[in-house]
Structure 1
């Protein structure tokens, strides 16, 4: 009797296993018979700004040497409408041209992008390497795909005033900041050998100060940049040069 029961159970297990295998075969055949579908992903890879450096160098060279036609070709259509014609741009070049007094490098400060291959805007600041003096700023409009296809808008829409700390102040490794705008801006600290980005949003304290840098800044000179965007590709920024003190036991 028990042998018959065991044989019956074994037969049931085998039948169930065969049913599962058959279903799997049917599913595989059905999938293989379907026409190929394109893989659609709602995400984009990170922006590729490799080609923008050539655009920045081209703009700096054209503006410095007053090559009006070269500078005109690098302007965005909006900037071209603002200046009207290459002839009207000519007298403006001395004012809007980057003017470093010493070796300087273009530093990416902020961006508005949805990823590689999308219309994107990048705010670059030309910063002197030794003094950290800002020598010019431009917004590069690009598809962020690594190609040198960007166009320049040399005049950010407005300037943010950094009220605190004042220029040349000595600050802690996580300095409290105050800017003359109602909402917390993005903060960037440019130091020798690197750039630190402050957190954006929800950083304003009840006393009106911003506490943006979660990671401590390195001791030494720093150029603090406050940036605000309006969501339409227009940037406003302000800078202040400070010195970061070495951390002490009482530091936060």
Structure 2
């Protein structure tokens, strides 16, 4: 694949993933290659490569003779993903209490300030930033394997919340993120894990069916503007 195609594939992949994480593209929504290509002004080949990458990340599934769809996890799958996430994030906290890098607290606090800035203003962005906080925690362990697994389950949880969540409380999320940072700073792994367990438990507890989504054309027209810039 040429460098230009690779760059376009990356851009389409990132924008589709952003649309899924921000819960604009809902679970079960069909992603026709021609429609996606038209909205982003790229070829079906570019779209196909981007969709394959999203499928590897668990965000898209291909159905025989029907094409690609935003993945639609069952309630059992959702429970399993949250169980794995709790285990992984508890280990992240234990590691950070032992070996937080020098700039770690500054990076975490800067991220929380970003979350504070959009609190109560932009639900989709606050949802994305909330997930990115957890990925940042994993990155700060310096363990790329752990970071990859945490990133995958955080993405999957965003998809699950898109399908089942009744609401998103950014106020609660940002406050608990700050509490987690302070507990890690104090070297109190037990306290940090307790807060994290409550935090993830509250997220997992908000389950209900989502409303009927908008059309893929109206959703991707917004994200396609970013590619045109």
Shorter-chain TM-score: which interval? under 0.3
Instruction: From the two aligned structures, give the one with the greater strand fraction.
Output: 1
Instruction: From the two aligned structures, give the one with the greater helix fraction.
Output: 2
Q: With structure 2 as the length reference, what TM-score do the two structures score?
A: 0.26
- With CA pairs under 8 Å and 6+ residues apart, which has the higher RCO, 1 or 2? 2
Larger Rg: 1
